Structure 1
Amino acid sequence: MSVPTAGQLGPYRLLSRLGAGGFGEVHLALDPDGHTVAVKVLHPHVAADEVALARLAREVETMQRVRGPHIAEVLDASLTGARPYLVTRYVQGRSLAAVLATGGPLRGEELVRLARGLAEALASIHEAGIVHRDLKPANVILGDGEPYVIDFGIACALDSAGVTASGTVLGTPGYLGPEVLEGRETGSAADVFAWGATVAYAASGRPPYGTGPAPAVAYRVVHHEPDLTDVPSWLVPLLGDCLRADPAARPTAAQLCARLGMAAPPVTVPPQRGRVPDHAEPVTEEWRPEKRDAPGSVEEARARHRDKVRKRWVVGAGVVSGLVAAAVRQYVPEMSLLVLAAYGVGVLADAGLGVAAGARARVLFDLVSGAGTVGLYLALIALFSPVTLLLALATVMVVLVLVAFAG
């Protein structure tokens, strides 16, 4: 049963066909309020499986409650009638598979954003008691450089004999964990394996278990080690842990977030019926791909800016004070001492504020600056004549005046 590329489906107006997957066709549509959404209309052989639809209907309520910045949330569903469908947030962009096919592997910040975004998405999905079961490059949309996970929970909910007998492959070889391929019990660790395979593909430009017929790829997943040759060195240990054959040896999604230098997303829903418990994992070291911290709040940015300005004033005032004190020492010794004393009082006051705030680095910086100003003063009077120092002071003052008026 084919779905027209334009028309009405329930309260949704279908605009155009976006693509198709193993479970249905995806259409760009408008909701009753005129907002764009993505409508996945299930294939006829899937819609005909009453057991699969009943299981999906039980999971939809939980799926609708999963929220996250890297998730295409389930907004609505209608699983009765001739054309059952799911409605999700529409994410404008291209699939990771298409991006890699045309642009090659990701590097630098792009790769870090992908790894972190997918880990955060899995953590949110697992907190809801859902297993994605079909995470792969085709189910990741890149929009403005950020990854968004789609189709979470559908593969797991539709895992029934009727669906598989119709020829639909529940998952893609190369991204399915060995336990899935061998028919063993499957939990959230299978998604972590898929995360590792997806990120490895994005980092190297080729699947870690190679290409070829599905049985051949599946055999390599079960019996061979992944090929991580072209993966950046900072990522190899983490991917190696995620692609372990033993599900219990893999980190959880929350531990992935920690090792990627980010906090796990907050719990958005309480544990639900039928949640598959995560395996206990060994403690993992926190890993950071770069020295730069994740962006903080606006207040944190302002605080960093204020601290930078304060340091510049402390150093600048110290240089000017040392120069002034050295230049006038020969002519007005009292003024020389007064300038140094005034600067010293200012530095001690700032250091006192640092002590009150418990900022040891600020106190140390002030003390070093004060000592540096005294050292500069002694060096200037030892190396230069009073006339030279006065000329230098005059030049500095002219420059400062010009800078002030130029602003």
Structure 2
Amino acid sequence: MTKASLTPRSLAAQAMGKVDPTTRGVVPPIHIATTYLRDEDNGYSTGFVYGRPDNETVREAESVLAMLEDARAGALLFGSGMAAATAVFQALDPGDHVIASRVMYWALRNWLLTEATRWGLNIEFVETDDLSSLKAAIRPGETKLVWIETPSNPLWTITDIEAAAGIAHAAGARLAVDSTCASPVHTQPLALGADIVMHAATKVLNGHSDVVAGVLCAREDDEFWQRIKTIRKMQGGILGPFEAFLLIRGLRTLHLRQERQAASAMALAERLSAHPMVARVLYPGLPQHPGHDIAARQMKDGFGYMLSIQVTGGEAAAVRTAANVALYKRATSLGGVESLIEHRASIEGAGSPCPPDLLRLSTGIEDVDDLYDDLDEALKAGA
């Protein structure tokens, strides 16, 4: 059996089968060196020059991520999801027109509104799940990047990646996909035509709420990808070796966690849809979800670990519900083994597209009956 014949599940479980050459340990060591010895001819035959762009532990993590996304050009790890995402926009030229999903990760949306314009970028927010709106916003020759998030946080709308790629490419633009809330277990955007995929690796890729990291994966090693590499190298948006080591640990169990989390999220969505104190459940796995058919086509092995509920009693009842959970943790972030609950509108503030009666739920690996009972009791207490 060759490595090429193995499934991504097996390759991730063994972190690509890397073994420490000195001890033969099945868990490779953490490489912390910041500088490397030159050859006698003053060259660097090992390919390692300096710790900022060159670290073996980081490269090992990148190899697993590139494999999971089937990224021919490879993967680049950054010190955070925001560092990874903003590097893509910084690689553009002043005056470039950019289309971004109206509903998306709030911190990046704020950065695009407040900082990207200072770079001279022309940012336009569109309901990218509406392909007619996306087509109408495209400016052939001017639009250089279409940035979509699917499923989009926290409303979980679904954008057709393949169709969006066709629209972007026809206008000479690139398509980048924030796939944080899908993970490569459920969606592979590059295989659907995207040029770049981004993950906040802090979330489900790591899965243990103890690492802040971001990653970009690319389909083609072109001039734009080389520009992003240069930005990371020169601006120093790197990930440390210890964090990369922890990320590798998390990636080993990604498939197991995602299968459990997606199954539990689906079960919760179905049961909460019948709850008298829940006005609406937002989850692409539900047949009544507007993007269900597209999600069923472009997602596999489940519909992800994130869902939101809108509480019948409005904002006050939603806040009281979050205050009365016992098993769920009231905390920002998502994708960890522990389930989290958050009232997003109060976090995002003025201008948020998030309804005030909405609670965002990140499904962990706890017993699904315990999770439902906790929400049931909290909803009743918050009514």
- Report 1 or 2 for greater relative contact order, CA contacts < 8 Å, sequence distance ≥ 6: 2
Query: Normalising by structure 1, what TM-score?
Result: 0.26
Pair member with larger Rg: 1
